[in-house]
């Protein structure tokens, strides 16, 4: 695994909404380049950019029309190259978003694949052998071509499924991953990776990585497929990194991914922490962290040393953290995110507590996700410094409240969320035990109980993390003897007579 992942802290950029350099109301690569120093100063040293290839944008770019060309609204391939260079100059790394599971219906491959005459692309997508039969358990496109068949959908109706084969074959038109068509699809995806990695990209976040091979309940076919990709990377690009949108680290890391996300779907209980009726990080103190920890331990044991489990602050598919947590609660949540193993991912704007913009009409297939994708709020200028376009041209409406957080007002306030996150990142960078590969042992994570405590360790260093989001003082049995406070927020936890006592709404990192 690439060495740079040992201490990577990622920042996710939704390119449409980050910084507009040419006043068209939509963010672009030159805008991102102009803000790299801001990201570096926050302490992040790696980026994930949401899809930026040519697309009709029916799903914000997750519907690719051409994997080899940057969408003109973001710039050119030359701009991408410049972005890679500027990122590297600052000692940072960058991942693009790879969408291997489907394309847009506008992709040339699909247009060719729709033709009744057999051609190179006939098997690139999953087609049944007559229009009256639809693929089981999947949506399909039917009656749209002279080809006599239905084409399987992977997500929205404009996203036909690329063909990587079936693990369990039950119909004559289903292919094995070893058949020529599925093999050619995978080879082409490797070419796409090769193209961008050669240009200077450092790797990919992989969309819907766990569902490429169909009728593959236990994921065995998909795991085998990704093992082939890992082999190719190890041979040709050993410094490259892959992070999967899978949500099941035991499977993803077995497949050779260097990292997997815990997500708002899947079995991880990630939502118990931040986004449910009683989030654990809410000060009402009615949350429950035990199921999350139980699942985490299971994954951690299975995945040990194979790769990293990554916990994001949010992403372009989830509600903003600020929808369920207030600023102090977010500070405690970030103390957790930035002291866990794996590589942390900060969703743009979460570091200043950007709010979920309510009641928006869907933009580019965003639907309820649109409110988490609004343009970044930089300062007190026009459109919060995001763009000089007229307000009605902005990609998505911004948070219009007078007290909306901006980078400028958060930087001016020493007690802000921004400064707390910056401090936490600096502490993580200075303590190996807190970084990606430091060990974790859970000390206190009881059912419906507070606080939450764990020890991180590497070599001789041991750090006890005590998080008490609840608004009451709490104690737990603990025979560790803290010698030094490395970080605290809301008061320091104290050890007395075999118990550690944590003040209400507090965080402590203690050397033990």
Can you give the binding site for ligand NOJ, defined by CB under 6 A?
Answer: 59, 62, 99, 155, 207-208, 245, 316-317
Q: Is the dihedral of CA 35, 36, 42, 47 positive or negative?
A: positive
The span from the CA of 146 to the CA of 139, in Å, is 19
Start-to-end C-alpha separation, the chain:
30
Token pair, residue 142, equals 């039917």
Name the residue nearer to ligand NOJ (CB basis): 188 or 317: 317
Cβ at position 386, least distance to ligand NOJ in Å: 21
For 137, residues 6+ apart whose C-beta sits below 8 A from its C-beta are: none
Token pair, residue 488, equals 């605290």
Name the residue nearer to ligand NOJ (CB basis): 262 or 510: 262
The span from the CA of 416 to the CA of 407, in Å, is 10
Name the 3-class secondary structure at 112.
Answer: helix
Cβ at position 12, least distance to ligand NOJ in Å: 10
Name the residue nearer to ligand NOJ (CB basis): 48 or 452: 48
Name the residue nearer to ligand NOJ (CB basis): 64 or 467: 64
Cβ at position 207, least distance to ligand NOJ in Å: 5
Helix (H) / strand (E) element for 36: namely helix 36-42
Cβ at position 155, least distance to ligand NOJ in Å: 4
CA 280 to chain centre: 21
Measure the CA angle with vertex 344, ends 101 and 434; round to 5°. Answer: 145
Q: Give 51's DSSP letter.
A: P
- 203 forms bridges with which residues in the sheet? 241
Cβ at position 80, least distance to ligand NOJ in Å: 20
Cβ at position 369, least distance to ligand NOJ in Å: 7
Name the residue nearer to ligand NOJ (CB basis): 27 or 43: 27
Strand 259-261's sheet: what is its strand order?
A: 308-310, 259-261, 241-244, 203-206, 93-98, 46-49, 10-13, 345-347
Cβ at position 315, least distance to ligand NOJ in Å: 7
Q: Which of these, 42, 94, 86, lies nearest to 349 by C-alpha position?
A: 42
Name the residue nearer to ligand NOJ (CB basis): 274 or 454: 274
Classify each residue of 280-318 as buried b or exposed e, where b means 16 or more C-beta atoms within 10 Å of its C-beta: bbbbebebbbbebbebbeebbeebeebbbbbbbbbbbeb
Cβ at position 151, least distance to ligand NOJ in Å: 16
8 A C-beta contact, residue 44 and residue 9:
yes
Beta strands in 194-298 (DSSP E): 203-206, 241-244, 259-261
Name the residue nearer to ligand NOJ (CB basis): 151 or 440: 151
Question: Scanning the structure block, which residue is given the tokens 């084969």?
Answer: 165
Cβ at position 365, least distance to ligand NOJ in Å: 7
Burial of 473 from C-beta contacts in 10 A (0-12 / 13-18 / 19+) = middle
Name the residue nearer to ligand NOJ (CB basis): 62 or 84: 62
Cβ at position 162, least distance to ligand NOJ in Å: 12
Name the residue nearer to ligand NOJ (CB basis): 158 or 282: 158
Name the residue nearer to ligand NOJ (CB basis): 123 or 245: 245
Name the residue nearer to ligand NOJ (CB basis): 15 or 451: 15
Residue number of the CB closest to ligand NOJ reads 62
List alpha helices for 238-380, DSSP H: 249-254, 271-274, 290-303, 327-337
Cβ at position 420, least distance to ligand NOJ in Å: 28
């Amino acid at each position: 695994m690439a060495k740079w992942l040992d201490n990577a802290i990622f920042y996710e950029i939704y390119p449409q909404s980050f910084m507009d350099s040419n006043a068209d109301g939509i963010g672009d690569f030159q805008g991102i380049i102009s803000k790299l120093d801001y990201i570096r100063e926050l302490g992040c040293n790696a980026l994930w950019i949401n899809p930026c290839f040519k697309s009709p944008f029916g799903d914000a770019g997750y519907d690719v029309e051409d994997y080899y060309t940057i969408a003109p609204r973001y710039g050119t391939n030359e701009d991408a190259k410049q972005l890679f260079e500027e990122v590297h100059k600052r000692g940072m790394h960058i991942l693009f978003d790879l969408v291997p599971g489907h394309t847009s219906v506008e992709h040339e491959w699909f247009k060719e694949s729709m033709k009744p005459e057999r051609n190179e692309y006939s098997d690139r997508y999953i087609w049944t052998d007559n229009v009256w039969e639809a693929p089981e358990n999947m949506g399909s496109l039917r009656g749209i071509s002279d080809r006599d068949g239905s084409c399987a959908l992977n997500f929205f109706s404009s996203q036909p499924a690329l063909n990587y084969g079936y693990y369990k074959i039950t119909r004559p038109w289903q292919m094995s991953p070893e058949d020529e068509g599925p093999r050619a699809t995978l080879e082409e995806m490797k070419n796409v990776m090769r193209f961008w990695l050669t240009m200077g990209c450092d790797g990919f976040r992989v969309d819907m990585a766990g569902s490429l091979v169909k009728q593959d309940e236990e994921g065995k076919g998909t795991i085998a497929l990704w093992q082939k990709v890992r082999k190719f990377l190890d041979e040709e690009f050993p410094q490259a990194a892959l992070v999967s949108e899978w949500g099941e680290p035991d499977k993803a890391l077995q497949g050779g991914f260097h990292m997997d996300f815990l997500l708002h779907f899947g079995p991880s209980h990630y939502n118990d922490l931040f986004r449910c009726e009683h989030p654990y990080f809410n000060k009402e103190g009615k949350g429950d962290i035990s199921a999350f920890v139980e699942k985490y331990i299971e994954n951690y044991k299975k995945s040990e040393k194979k790769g990293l489990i990554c916990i994001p602050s949010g992403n372009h598919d989830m509600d903003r953290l600020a929808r369920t947590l207030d600023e102090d609660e977010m500070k405690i949540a970030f103390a957790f995110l930035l002291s866990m193993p794996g590589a942390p991912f900060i969703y743009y704007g979460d570091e200043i507590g950007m709010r979920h913009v309510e009641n928006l009409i869907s933009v580019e297939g965003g639907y309820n996700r649109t409110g988490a994708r609004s343009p970044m709020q930089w300062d007190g200028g026009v459109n919060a410094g995001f763009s000089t376009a007229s307000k009605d041209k902005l990609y998505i409406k911004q948070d219009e409240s007078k007290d909306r957080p901006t980078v400028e007002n958060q930087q001016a306030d020493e007690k802000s969320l921004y400064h707390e996150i910056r401090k936490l990142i600096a502490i993580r960078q200075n303590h190996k035990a807190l970084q990606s590969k430091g060990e974790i042992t859970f000390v206190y994570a009881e059912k419906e109980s507070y606080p939450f405590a764990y020890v991180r360790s590497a070599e001789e260093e041991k750090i006890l993390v005590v998080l008490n989001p609840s608004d009451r003082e709490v104690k737990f049995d603990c025979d560790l003897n803290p010698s030094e406070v490395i970080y605290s927020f809301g008061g320091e936890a104290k050890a007395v007579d075999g118990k550690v006592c944590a003040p209400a709404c507090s965080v402590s990192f203690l050397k033990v």
